[in-house]
Structure 1
Amino acid sequence: MEFDRDEAIGKAIAVFADHGYEGSSTAELLARMGIGRQSLYGAFGDKKRLFLQALERYNAGSLAQTEAALAVEDSPRAAIEAALLAFAVGPDVTPEAGCLGVGSIAEFGRSDPDVNAINDAAGRRFKAAFAARLADGVAAGQFAPDLDPEAGAEFLLTVRAGLKVAARDGAGLDRLRSAARLALRGLDV
C-alpha cells in the first residue's frame, strides 16, 4: 500500500507528542498514520526508528519556526520575545498538544544516545540563534552590557522549555507572554 511518508511522520509526531515514546502503542501509531504494520517496518524500521525520525523532523520544524521569529523583528528584545512564544502563536498552533523535544528529554533524560544526539544538535542551533540576537541586544543597549550571550541563551532555552510545559498544562497566550516578558526583564540593563 502506498502512503505519503511525510504525512505519516507528521501524524506520528502528534501521537508521540501526546503520549511520549513508551505511551504510544504501535497499534495507535498505525491507526493514526493510516498504514499497516508491514509498511511501518518497511518504511521506518521499527517504532524506535520512527520516533527518532519524528523527533528529528519536529526539532527541525521548531528550529525553523524559532529562527524565523528571531529574524522578523528589528528589535532584538522583540525578536527574542517572539521566538520564545512562536510555538504558541499562529492559526494552526495547538501549544497544549505538547512539545516532542521537551517531552523526549523528560522521558529519556540522558539515557538514550540517539535521542541525546538529536536533541543536542538542535540545542546547539537554538542556543546559537538566541545568543546571536542577545549579542545584538547588548550592542543596542537593550540588555545588560555585561550579559554573556551564551549564558543568556542557556537561560532562554530553559525559559522556553518551561513555557512549553506551562502551555501543555493549559496556560493561555497572555500567561505565556507575561512569563516571557518577566524572564526578559532578568536580562535588562
Structure 2
Amino acid sequence: MDAAVRAAVAVFREHGFEGTSAQMLVSAMGIGRQSLYDTFGDKWGIYLAAVKQYSQGELRTHAGMLMSRQRAVEGIRAMLDRVAGEAHHACLGVSSTVEFGCSRPDLVKAREASSAVLVHAIKEVLAKAKEEGDVSADLDLDQLTTFLIASISSIRLAARGGAGSDHVSGLVDLAMRALR
C-alpha cells in the first residue's frame, strides 16, 4: 500500500489532481483500476492519501534538517538549503494549495494537521536561535515562523517557475538575513 501511494505521489506532484487520469495512476501504482477503487474509493481518495504521505515525509525531513546542526540557526539554514536544492521538483503540498485553496475541507484538514507540526518545530528552533543570539530579540516568533513557511513555498514556486539556482539560493540568503 505504501509503495502504491508513493507512486501516486510522484504522478500527482508532476501533473496535479486535475491533470492526473485514473489510467496514469494505475500504470504508476502497478495495480488494476478496480483495485484502485476498492482500496481508495476514487481518485480523490488516493489524492488525499498521497498528500498525507508526502506531507509526513516532508515533515520528517524538515524536522531532521532543523535538528541536524549544533546551532539552531544552522539547522534553519540546512532546512532552507535542502528546500532550495530540491525545489525544481514539484511540491505536492504547495501544488494542493494552489490547485484547491480552501475549497476542499478534507484537504484543508490534512494540510492543517501537517502545518501545525511544522509550525511547532520551526518555532522551537527559532526560540533556540533567539536564545543563542542568532535571531534578533525584537522579532516575533509567530511572524518569523509564518515568514519561514512562506519562504519555503516561495522558493519552491520560484524554482518551479524557472528561476535559476543563483536566484533560488539568493532567496535562502534573504530569508536568513531576515532573522537578524
TM-score (norm 2): 0.94
C-alpha distance in 2, partners of 1:34/1:87?
30
Q: Does 1:44 align with 2:40?
A: yes
Residue from 91, 103, 117 that aligns with 1:99: 91
**Equivalent position of 2:122 in the other structure:** 130
1:34 corresponds to which residue? 30
Q: Distance in 2 between matches of 1:24 and 1:154?
A: 31
The 3-state SS of whatever aligns with 2:16 is: helix
Which residue does the alignment assign to 1:72?
68
Instruction: Output the TM-score relative to the length of structure 1.
Output: 0.90
Q: Is residue 80–residue 152 contact of structure 2 (8 Å, CA) maintained in 1?
A: yes
Q: 2:170 aligned with 1:187, yes or no? A: no
Unaligned stretches of 5+ residues in structure 1: none
User: Counterpart of 1:22 in 2: which secondary structure?
Assistant: coil
Q: 1:108 is matched with which residue: 100, 103, 106?
A: 100
Partner Cα separation in structure 1 for residue 83 and residue 27 of structure 2 = 27
Q: What's the secondary structure of 1:15's corresponding residue? A: helix
CA deviations on 1:113-163 (whole Å, 9 max, x unpaired) are 011001111111111111111111111111111121121000000000011
SS of 1:21's partner is: coil
Q: Is residue 87–residue 155 contact of structure 2 (8 Å, CA) maintained in 1? A: no
Letter matched to residue 40 of structure 1:
L
Q: Does 1:145 align with 2:137?
A: yes
Partner of 1:15: 11
Q: Does 1:81 align with 2:77?
A: yes
Alignment RMSD (CA, Å)? 1.4
DSSP 3-state at the match of 1:96:
coil
Question: Contact 1:15 / 1:24 at 8 angstroms: preserved in 2?
Answer: yes
Secondary structure at the residue paired with 2:115?
A: helix
CA contact (8 A) 1:62 1:87 kept: no
2:139 alignment partner, SS class? coil
Question: What stretches of structure 2 of length at least 5 have no aligned partner?
Answer: none
Between the two proteins, the alignment pairs up a number of residues equal to: 180
In 2, the alpha carbon distance for the partners of 1:73 and 1:177 equals 19
What is the CA deviation profile of residues 10-60 of structure 1, one whole-angstrom value per residue up to 9, with x for unaligned ones? Answer: 110011111111111111111111111111012222111100000000000
Cα deviation 1:91-121 (Å, max 9, x = unaligned): xxx5323000000000000100011001111
Q: Is the 8 A contact 2:84 2:169 kept in 1?
A: no
What's the CA shift for 1:88?
4.6
* Alpha-carbon contact 1:15-1:29 (below 8 Å) kept: yes
